[in-house]
Amino acid sequence: MLAREIRIADVNIIVALNRGNALFASTSVFIIAGLMAILGALDKARSLVDNLSFAVDASREVWELKVFALMCVFGYAFFKFIWSLRQFNFALHLVGAAPEPHEKGTAEWDGFPDRVARIISLGVYTFNGGVRGYYFGLAMLSWFVHPVLFIVVSLWVVAVLHRRDFRSRTLKTLLELDGKDKEQA
């Protein structure tokens, strides 16, 4: 990026990341609003689930607890997505303030790529936290049916996340790319 005078492509990449954050953040608000609506029609929701032959009957208080817990999970996700959005906005400002190619070798130039990369990495890490909130929020839905199902689905989500975060081909490819960058340096 620093070697180019025109950085529109760099800006567009970060803007695309922001679109995903904005989508997930607004969806989180809609989910929380839907959960508030469920609180208003809790008896109807309970009777709907109670009609399932394999569902465990739960008291109104337990249902309220489950709905509030889901609201907390999606509230957590909302705050993660908004913070990630802000971090990517900071990155956009840094791209706009980047030193020009003719300033190569200055103190500002030398530390700049690492600062921008750290801000973008933090934004990606925070975004992943929000996505994990969605994974666990979806797992929590099974709690309305049966507590054992909730445990099984939660363990499955942990296994899926572990595989994707530590054992996936995507991670392997990223690590290979990182190794090639180090060899070239």
62-91 tens-digit pLDDT? 999 999 999 999 999 999 999 999 999 898
Q: Does some domain include residue 162?
A: no
Q: Does some domain include residue 3?
A: no
Give the dihedral of Cα atoms 142, 145, 151, 154; nearest 10 deg: 0
Assign 100 to helix, strand or coil: coil
Q: Does some domain include residue 157?
A: no
Q: Count of domains in the chain?
A: 1
pLDDT, position 4: 62
pLDDT, position 2: 61
What is the residue range of 133's domain? 8-145
Q: Does some domain include residue 39?
A: yes
Low-confidence ranges of the chain (pLDDT < 50): 185
Q: How far apart are CA 144 and CA 38, in angstroms?
A: 12
Q: How far apart are CA 155 and CA 90, in angstroms?
A: 36
Half-sphere exposure of 137 (CA within 13 A, CB side): 22
pLDDT, position 6: 66
CB atoms within 10 A of CB 135: 18
Q: Does some domain include residue 169?
A: no
pLDDT, position 94: 83
Q: How far apart are CA 150 and CA 144, in angstroms?
A: 8
Q: Does some domain include residue 27?
A: yes
> For residue 86, which of 27, 168, 21, 133 has the smallest C-alpha distance?
21
> For residue 143, which of 83, 67, 71, 86 has the smallest C-alpha distance?
67
The structure tokens 């709690």 sit at 143
CA angle 109, 114, 116 (to 5 degrees): 90
Assign 57 to helix, strand or coil: coil
Length of the chain: 185
Q: Does some domain include residue 161?
A: no
Q: Does some domain include residue 141?
A: yes
